[in-house]
Amino acid sequence: MKTVLFPKILSKIGESEYSLFDPGEVDERIFLEILKKYELAPEKEVLVLPYGEFNRVGFETRCLYFYLACTPEGKLNRKAEILNIEENYKNLPITRIVSFGKCNARCPYCKRDCQFINEFGNPIVAIPVPLKAIAQLGEGAVKRNEIIRFSGGDPVTYPKETLALAEYFMVRHKVKVSIAHNGSGPKWVEKMLPYLSSAAIDLKGVPEKMGKIMGIPERAGEIMYQLSLQTQKLISKSGILLDVRTPIFGDTTIEEMIRLGEIICKTNNLEYTFWTWRLYKPVKGIDWPVPTKEKTIEMMLKVSEKFLICGWELEPNGKREECFISEKGELLIKQKIQQKKRF
Give me the residues that bind ligand SF4 (CB under 6 A), please.
103, 105-107, 110-111, 114, 152-154, 182, 214
Q: Write down the least CB distance from residue 185 to ligand SF4, Å.
A: 11
Pick the closer one to ligand SF4 by CB: 132 or 278. 278
308 DSSP 8-state letter: -
Q: What is the dihedral of CA 42, 45, 48, 51, to 10 degrees?
A: 70
Helix, strand or coil for residue 267? helix
CB of 115 or CB of 304, closer to ligand SF4: 115
Q: How far is the CB of 10 from ligand SF4 (least distance, A)?
A: 26
At 207, give phi and psi (nearest 5°): -55, -40
Among candidate residues 276, 258, 139, the one with its CA nearest the CA of residue 198: 276
Q: Which is nearer to ligand SF4, 142 or 248 (CB)?
A: 248
User: Minimum distance between the CB of residue 179 and ligand SF4, rounded to whole angstroms?
Assistant: 12
In what order do the strands lie in the sheet containing 196-202? Answer: 61-63, 94-99, 147-151, 177-181, 196-202, 241-248, 273-279
Identify which of residues 136 and 252 has a Cβ nearer to ligand SF4 in the complex.
Answer: 252
Closest approach of Cβ 221 to ligand SF4, in Å?
12
Closest distance of CB 308 from ligand SF4, Å: 26
Are 153 and 100 in contact by the 8 Å Cβ rule? The answer is yes
CB 79: neighbour CB atoms within 10 A?
9
Q: Which is nearer to ligand SF4, 17 or 113 (CB)?
A: 113
Looking at the Cβ atoms of 58 and 183, the one nearer to ligand SF4 is 183
Instruction: Give the residue with the Cβ less far from ligand SF4, 80 or 283.
Output: 283
Query: Least distance to ligand SF4 from the beta carbon of 297, Å?
Result: 24
How many CB atoms neighbour CB 294 within 10 A?
8
DSSP three-state, residue 273: strand
**Closest approach of ligand SF4 to the CB of residue 66, in Å:** 20
39-74 burial code (b ≥16 CB/10 A, e <16):
ebeeebbbbbbbbeebbbbbbbbbbbbbebbeeeee
CA torsion through residues 306, 308, 310, 316, sign: negative
Shortest CB 71 distance to ligand SF4, Å? 31
Q: Helix, strand, coil proportions of the chain in percent (round to 5)?
A: 35, 25, 40
Give the bridge partners for 244, in sequence order: 201, 275
Q: How far apart are CA 281 and CA 126, in angstroms?
A: 22
If the CB atoms of residues 167 and 243 are measured against ligand SF4, the closer one turns out to be: 243
